[in-house]
C-alpha cells in the first residue's frame, strides 16, 4: 500500500550494450515530482452575455510574452461536462459480473477559508452561505474538503454534510495582530509596505505626522520618522509572515488536490491580502503548480459589496485630521490591491473571481462550478533567459467582436533549464490523476480479485500492443522503455496504491519480431479491503513519448 503523495522515479540502468538483457522489468513505488518549463496559459472566452465560448481553434488565438508574439505549441479545450470520462464497469473475475456499487468520486472541491486575513463577521457570513450551498449542491460523485490557511480545523474529502458543517462552524479568525491594539503611529499593512519596501516619502511623512500627534511632548521630525519606520517594520514583519503562511497553505492545498482524480477546484474564501514584492515569486509558483496539476483556483471575496469607510470603522481612531485624506486614499488603494490578489489567482488558473456582491451563496455556486469551456495554451518562450524575471502575458482572439478574455497575467522565468526526465514524470503524474482516456498506444486493461477472510488480492492486468510504438535502433538492438503505472483509488478518490513497472527493451531482431507480434503483458497486485475502487492504468513509451490511459471500476463485496 502506498500513500497519496508520490513521485515517479524512472531510471534506465547503465549496462554495456553487448551484455544488456533484451528485456528488463523493474518495479517501483509510483511517486511524483513536478518541474516543467513549458508555460501554460489557461484562457476562458465569454460572449457579450457572459456565456463561455468553446468553438475557437488554436489559430484564433494570439499570445504575447513581454509584447513579443509566441508560437502556441500546445492547445487543448477542457469541457466541464466532458472532463471526466464515464467509467466502464467490467467483470472482475471470470464468469462474475461486478456490482456497480455506490458512485465513485469524480469531482473534488476544497473550500479554503483564509482565517488569517478575514474578520469574524465576514467568516460567519461565508460559513452560512457555504453550508446552504453544500446542502443544495453536493451530489453523489462530489466530494468536498474544508481547509484553512492557518492549518486549524481541517476536514479532508467527504460527502458527509454534517461533518462539513461541523468543520466550518469551528473556523475562527487567526490573525496574529492583537484585536483593538493600535500602535503609535497606527500604520496599515499597505502603508507599511509603501514605507518599508517602496520608500514612499508621502506614506512616511503621513506616518511621521501621526507619530508627532500620538507620541505627545516635544518630538523632532527625525524622531517621528524613526517611530514611523519602526512601526512600519513591525507591521510588515507580521504581514509578510501571514502572507507566507497563506501562500504555503494554498500551495499545500494544490498539492493535495493534485493527488485526486477527476475535476479539481479550490474555492478560496478571503477578504483579500497583501502580497509584497518579496512574495510575488511564490504566488507565481502556486499558479504554475495549479496549472500543471489541472487544478482550478476560484476566489470569493468574503467582504461582499465592499465600501471603504474614510478613517476606518468605529473600532479605529483617527489620530491626526491633517493626514486623514491621504490615509483615506491609501485605505481605498489597499482594498483594491488586496482584492486584486484574489483576481490574479483566479485569472491565472481559469477560475472565477466573485466580488462586490453580497449574495455569497450565489458566489459559492459560481466559484464551485468549473468553466463550461476553458482553453489551455502552451508555449516555449523564445530566447528565454533563466534569470527569474517577470514576464507579462497578453492573449487576444482574432476576429471576435464583443468577447471578453480571462487569461493568466504573467509568469516568472525559471532559473535553470528543464530536465527531460522530470518532464516525463510530470506527464505521467498528470495522466494518472486525470480520468481522461488516451489511446496513442493500444492497451487492454482487465482486473481480477481473490477474496481472503478480511481483505482481497486485486490484480491489474495490462496488455500493450507494440505494433504502433516507435523503436530506436542502436548497437544492433531495438530500444525503447515502457513505463506502466497501475493505481487504485477508493470511492472518495483517495489514492490507495500505485506501482510503476519500467520495461527496458533492448531487443535483437529475432526477438523484436516476436515481441511485435505478441505484445507485452504485465500484472500488478494490490491488497485491499472490500469496497468500491477505481483502477487507473497509464502507459508511456520513452522514444515516441506517446501515452495511453484506461479506467475501470471494481466492486469487491
Residue 37 banded pLDDT, cuts 50, 70, 90: low
Split at pLDDT 50, 70, 90, the class of 52 is confident
Q: What is the pLDDT of residue 99?
A: 40
Nearest CA among 158, 123, 164 for reference residue 142:
158
Report whether pLDDT(295) > 80. yes
Per-residue pLDDT at 78 exceeds 50: yes
Q: What is the mean pLDDT of residues 126-138?
A: 92
- Cβ neighbours for 542, distance < 8 A, ≥ 6 positions apart: 12, 424, 480, 481, 482, 483
Q: Are 483 and 512 within 8 A, CB to CB? A: no
The answer to whether 323 and 209 have CB atoms below 8 angstroms apart is yes
Report how far residue 120's alpha carbon sits from residue 115's, in angstroms, rounded to the nearest whole number.
9
Domains, the chain, in order of start with CATH, read: 7-35+420-556 (2.60.40.150), 39-80+371-412 (2.60.40), 107-178+233-368 (3.40.50.410)
Report the alpha-carbon distance of residue 436 to residue 547 in Å, rounded.
12
pLDDT tier at 171 (50, 70, 90 boundaries)?
Answer: very high
Q: Does pLDDT of 400 surpass 80?
A: no
In whole angstroms, what is the distance from residue 523 CA to residue 486 CA?
9
Q: What percent of the chain has pLDDT over 70?
A: 84
Q: What is the pLDDT of residues 145-163, one digit of tens each?
A: 999 999 998 999 999 999 9
Q: Which of 74-78, 294-298, 497-501 has the lowest mean pLDDT?
A: 74-78
- State the pLDDT at residue 476: 87
The three three-digit cell numbers of residue 522, written as one number = 504485465
Report the pLDDT value the prediction gives residue 500, as an integer from 0 to 100.
92
In tens, the pLDDT along 214-233 reads 887 688 889 999 999 999 99
3-state secondary structure 102-149: CCCCCEEEEEEECCCCCCHHHHHHHHHHHHHHHHHHCCCCEEEEEEEC
Contact 189, 232 (CB under 8 A): no
**The pLDDT of residue 314 is above 60:** no
Higher model confidence: residue 485 or residue 29?
485
pLDDT score recorded for residue 383: 79
pLDDT band at 321 (very low <50, low <70, confident <90, very high): confident
Q: Which of 190-204, 207-221, 346-360 is predicted with the least confidence, judged by mean pLDDT?
A: 207-221
Worst-scoring range by mean pLDDT, 79-93, 113-127, 239-253, 349-363?
Answer: 79-93
* Averaged pLDDT, 57-75: 92
Residue 299 has pLDDT above 80, yes or no: yes
- What pLDDT score does 359 carry? 96
Among candidate residues 110, 166, 135, 99, the one with its CA nearest the CA of residue 491:
99
Q: For 69, which DSSP code?
A: E
pTM (2 d.p.)? 0.67
Of 27-31, 270-274, 298-302, give the lowest mean pLDDT range.
Answer: 27-31
DSSP run (H or E) holding 1? none
For residues 22 and 45, the model is more confident at 45
* From 311-320, 322-331, 339-348, 355-364, the region with the lowest mean pLDDT: 311-320
Rg of the chain taking only CA atoms, in angstroms: 27
What's the average model confidence in pLDDT over 114-124? 93
Alpha helices in 275-404 (DSSP H): 280-292, 324-349, 360-368
Position 94 scores a pLDDT of 37
Q: How sure is the predictor about 19, in pLDDT bands with cuts at 50, 70 and 90?
A: low
Whether the per-residue pLDDT at 144 is higher than 90: the answer is yes
Whether 405 and 395 have beta carbons less than 8 Å apart is answered as yes
User: Is the model's pLDDT at 83 over the cut of 50?
Assistant: no
Average pLDDT along the chain: 83
Nearest in space to 478 (alpha carbons), one of 514, 434, 448, 436: 514
What is the SS3 assignment for 427?
helix
Instruction: Let me know the angle formed at the C-alpha of 404 by 401 and 407, rounded to the nearest 5 degrees.
Output: 135
Amino acid at each position: 500500500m502506498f500513500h497519496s503523495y508520490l513521485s515517479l522515479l524512472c531510471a534506465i540502468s547503465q549496462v554495456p550494450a553487448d551484455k544488456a538483457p533484451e528485456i528488463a522489468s523493474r518495479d517501483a513505488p509510483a511517486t511524483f515530482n513536478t518541474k516543467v518549463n513549458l508555460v501554460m496559459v489557461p484562457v476562458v472566452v465569454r460572449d457579450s452575455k457572459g456565456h463561455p465560448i468553446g468553438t475557437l481553434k488554436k489559430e484564433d488565438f494570439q499570445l504575447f510574452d513581454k509584447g513579443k508574439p509566441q508560437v502556441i505549441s500546445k492547445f487543448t479545450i477542457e469541457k466541464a461536462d466532458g472532463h471526466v470520462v464515464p467509467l466502464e464497469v467490467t467483470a472482475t473475475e471470470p464468469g462474475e459480473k461486478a456490482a456497480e456499487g455506490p458512485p465513485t468520486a469524480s469531482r473534488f472541491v476544497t473550500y479554503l477559508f483564509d482565517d488569517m486575513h478575514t474578520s469574524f463577521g465576514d467568516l460567519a457570513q461565508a460559513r452560512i452561505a457555504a453550508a446552504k450551498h453544500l446542502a443544495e449542491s453536493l451530489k453523489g460523485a462530489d466530494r468536498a474538503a474544508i481547509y484553512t490557511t492557518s492549518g486549524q480545523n481541517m476536514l479532508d474529502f467527504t460527502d458527509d454534510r454534517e461533518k462539513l458543517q461541523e468543520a466550518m462552524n469551528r473556523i475562527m479568525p487567526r490573525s496574529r495582530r492583537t484585536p483593538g491594539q493600535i500602535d503609535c503611529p497606527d500604520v496599515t499593512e499597505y502603508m507599511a509596505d509603501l514605507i518599508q519596501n517602496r520608500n514612499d516619502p508621502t506614506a512616511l511623512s503621513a506616518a511621521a505626522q501621526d507619530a508627532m500627534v500620538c507620541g505627545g511632548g516635544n518630538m523632532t521630525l527625525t524622531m517621528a520618522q524613526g517611530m514611523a519606520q519602526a512601526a512600519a517594520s513591525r507591521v510588515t514583519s507580521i504581514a509578510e509572515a501571514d502572507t507566507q503562511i497563506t501562500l504555503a497553505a494554498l500551495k499545500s492545498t494544490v498539492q493535495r488536490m493534485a493527488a485526486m482524480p477527476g475535476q479539481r477546484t479550490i474555492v478560496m474564501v478571503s477578504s483579500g491580502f497583501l502580497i509584497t514584492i518579496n512574495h510575488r515569486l511564490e504566488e507565481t509558483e502556486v499558479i504554475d503548480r495549479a496549472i500543471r496539476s489541472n487544478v482550478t483556483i476560484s476566489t470569493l471575496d468574503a467582504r461582499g459589496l465592499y465600501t471603504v469607510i474614510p478613517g476606518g470603522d468605529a473600532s479605529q481612531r483617527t489620530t491626526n485630521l491633517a493626514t486623514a485624506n491621504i490615509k483615506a486614499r491609501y485605505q481605498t488603494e489597499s482594498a483594491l490591491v488586496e482584492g486584486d490578489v484574489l483576481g490574479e489567482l483566479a485569472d491565472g488558473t481559469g477560475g472565477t473571481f466573485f466580488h462586490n456582491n453580497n449574495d455569497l451563496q450565489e458566489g459559492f455556486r459560481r466559484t464551485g462550478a468549473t468553466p463550461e469551456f476553458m482553453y489551455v495554451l502552451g508555449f516555449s518562450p523564445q530566447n528565454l533567459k533563466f534569470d527569474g524575471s517577470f514576464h507579462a502575458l497578453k492573449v487576444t482572439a482574432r476576429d471576435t467582436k464583443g468577447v471578453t478574455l480571462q487569461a493568466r497575467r504573467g509568469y516568472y522565468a525559471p532559473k535553470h533549464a528543464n530536465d527531460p526526465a522530470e518532464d516525463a514524470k510530470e506527464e505521467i503524474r498528470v495522466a494518472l490523476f486525470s480520468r481522461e482516456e488516451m489511446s496513442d498506444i493500444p492497451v487492454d486493461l482487465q482486473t481480477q480479485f481473490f477474496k481472503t477472510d478480511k481483505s482481497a488480492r486485486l490484480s491489474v492486468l495490462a496488455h500493450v500492443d507494440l505494433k504502433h510504438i516507435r523503436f530506436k535502433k542502436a548497437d544492433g538492438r531495438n530500444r525503447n522503455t515502457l513505463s506502466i503505472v497501475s493505481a487504485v483509488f477508493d470511492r472518495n478518490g483517495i489514492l490507495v496504491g500505485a506501482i510503476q513497472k519500467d520495461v527496458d527493451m533492448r531487443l535483437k531482431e529475432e526477438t523484436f519480431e516476436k515481441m511485435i507480434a505478441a505484445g507485452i503483458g504485465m500484472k500488478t497486485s494490490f491488497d485491499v479491503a472490500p469496497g468500491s475502487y477505481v483502477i487507473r492504468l497509464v502507459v508511456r513509451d520513452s522514444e515516441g513519448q506517446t501515452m495511453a490511459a484506461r479506467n475501470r471500476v471494481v466492486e469487491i463485496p
